[in-house]
Amino acid sequence: MPDIRFVIFDMDQVLYDYDHQVRLRLLEELTGRPATEIDAAVWGGPHEAAAEAGSPDTAEGYLAQYARLLGYPIDFDTWADIRRQMMRARPLVLAHVRRLKERADLALLTNNGMMLKAALPVCAPETIEIFGEKHTFPPNSKPGNQIRWSIVASVLNTDTSLKKAPLSKTMRQTCPVRRRLV
């Protein structure tokens, strides 16, 4: 078995279950607006994809945009509590990750925006415990740009055994440093 020295984990649907319908129900109760309208207004347009690409690049900017799209004033604590309620930790997976941490360097890489980064202590406290500061969220970029997976690129750039590993087409397209190494 190869000696694993570095592992990257995604958050949603890997470390945590994620139920968008719970979020919609809670937002409907909060605002009085139908869940289908909320879904279309907040997640139906380009705004969430832009946030996943790093725009807006602050939690405050994201929250202002979110409140505008929602048509309802929402504060950080309410947003974080709703996000927390829609997530469920996967205890067995987290236990495996904790054990793996004893043998390998770990990082969290997610396409979630800056708002969730600010809310991690509320929504996903286990990630703070396990990964500390080794978490990467979308960089500042223009809406629609793919995430550059900078943490992956830096690891691939320094680990010679990984430089020879085959890459998927997606990884070649989104990891410019690795492309130059191939």
What pLDDT, in 10s, does the model give residues 11-30? 999 999 999 999 999 999 99
Q: How far apart are CA 16 and CA 84, in angstroms?
A: 10
What's the pLDDT at 144?
A: 37
The predicted pLDDT at position 135 comes to 57
Question: Following DSSP, what letter does each residue of 57-89 receive, concatenated?
Answer: -SHHHHHHHHHHHHTS---HHHHHHHHHHHEEE
Q: Three-class SS of residue 159?
A: coil
Rounded mean pLDDT of the chain? 78
Residue 4 dihedral angles phi and psi, to the nearest 5°: -85, 125
Q: Return the closest-CA partner of residue 35 out of 48, 45, 22, 47.
A: 22
- Report the 10 Å Cβ neighbour count for 136: 19
Q: With 60 as the cut, is the pLDDT of residue 150 above it?
A: no
Tens of pLDDT, residue by residue over 19-73, are 999 999 999 999 999 999 999 999 998 988 888 777 888 899 999 999 999 999 9
